[in-house]
Structure formats: structure tokens, C-alpha cells
Amino acid sequence: MIAAEGKAFSAGVDVSDHTEDKVGDMIERFHGIFRRLAATDAITIAAVQGAALGGGCELACFCDVVLASDRAKFGQPEVHVGVFPPVAAAILPWRVGLGKAIELVSLGATISATEAHRIGLVNQLFPADEFNDKVAAYIDSIRGLSRPVVRMAKQATMVGMRAETLKRLEEAEKIYLDELMQLHDAHEGIAAFMEKRSPEWSHA
């Protein structure tokens, strides 16, 4: 299970790691997490008690099961700083459908846990004041199952999807590194965020 302490689940990668001199290494290291998640037959669970934004949202939605507090929120705000989230681009169409994936990835939408549950991004939605107890009970219910049977059931359910997801991720990475990083707007958005000012888009 992937969980966090405090008010937020995760805000993802530091924006400064998207700069030209760091972005290649950041993508390789960060996306290694998702390649390992894609390779496992164990059930992966994200327990999201607060805001899951950017890479934090990608991490949550890449897990097989997302358990969320009703105070949580989910979003991919990267486009507001001139970049996009490659992992979300690869996985969200599977999870929430193309239309919602476009809103989240391409338009930078942030949604409530209730909306995330409605569209299928969240599997189970729990009241914030009962969250820890409900998550513990959910985990206990899984522990009562046969581990090899659960693994085989996941393996059968994921037939074809692993390879397709990794292919999508590779293509999204290529667009990010080879095309996006050539745009003035990508560098302007990151610089503006770091300098705490509004970006001046050139649309190029």
C-alpha cells in the first residue's frame, strides 16, 4: 500500500526538476517507479487522505485500487506551468475514459474525491474521520484471500494492458522529451513558476 502522512498525499515532482538540465534524469528515475508498478502481479493500493496533484495524482491513479478520503482531491495541473504529465496521459484514458482524461491531462483540471469516485478514478470513498479505520478494514479483507489466486486473477485481468500501457508511456515520454522540451512555452512556464510570476506564452 502507498500512503502518506499529513494534509496532502503528494504534490509530485519538484517543478525545478523539469528544467532542461534535469528533466531527462527526472523522467528516467520517476517513471522507473511506474514501470516497476506495471511489472508486479501483486495488488497495488493507494490510500489518498488529501491532495494528490501532479506526480502524486499519477502515482495514485497508476495503482490498481485507489482508496480516498472525501476530503481528497485529484489533479494534473502541469499544463499551467507549460508541461504535461506523461504517466497520466498513458494511464488515465484506461481509468476514466478519453473525455475526462483530456480534461485532466490537457486542461489541467482538479477534481474532488467525490467526482473522482464517480468517474472511476477512485474505487472506494470513505469519510475523512473514518478513513484510517476503513482503509485498515479494506486491507484486512484482502489478507483473507489466497495470495497466488489474487495474483493470477490480476494477471488474467491485465492481459495485453501492461504492454499497451508501457507502450503508451514510452510514446508520451518521447513527445515530452523530444517535442515539448523544444518549445519556448515549456521553458517559460517553468521559469515563471519558479520566479513566482505569470507566464507570457508565445504559443510556440
The answer, as to whether pTM is greater than 0.85, is yes
Instruction: Name the residue among 99, 101, 100 with its Cα closest to residue 91.
Output: 101
Q: What is the pLDDT of residues 108-119, one digit of tens each?
A: 999 999 999 999
Report pLDDT for 10.
87
DSSP state of 198: -
The answer to whether the Cα torsion of 126, 47, 92, 82 is positive or negative is: positive
Q: Who contacts 67 (Cβ-Cβ below 8 Å, separation ≥6)?
A: 45, 46, 47, 48, 122, 123, 124, 126, 134, 135, 138
Task: Give the residue with greater pLDDT, 190 vs 16.
Answer: 190
Active site residue 130: no
Alpha-carbon distances, residue 94 vs 4, 33, 68, 138, 164 (angstroms): 25, 19, 19, 24, 10
Q: Which one of 5, 20, 58, 103 is the catalytic residue?
A: 58
Angstrom distance (rounded) from CA 183 to CA 147: 48
Pairing of strands 124-126, 110-112: unpaired
Distance CA 16, CA 130 (A): 36
* pLDDT for residue 92: 97
Distance CA 194, CA 15 (A): 8
In order of their start, the domains of the chain are: 8-194 (3.90.226.10)
By the 10 Å C-beta count (0-12 exposed, 13-18 middle, 19+ buried), 149 is classed as: exposed
Q: Is 28 a catalytic residue?
A: no
Which member of 78, 103, 164, 179 is catalytic? 78
Q: Residues 144-157: pLDDT tens digits?
A: 999 999 999 999 99
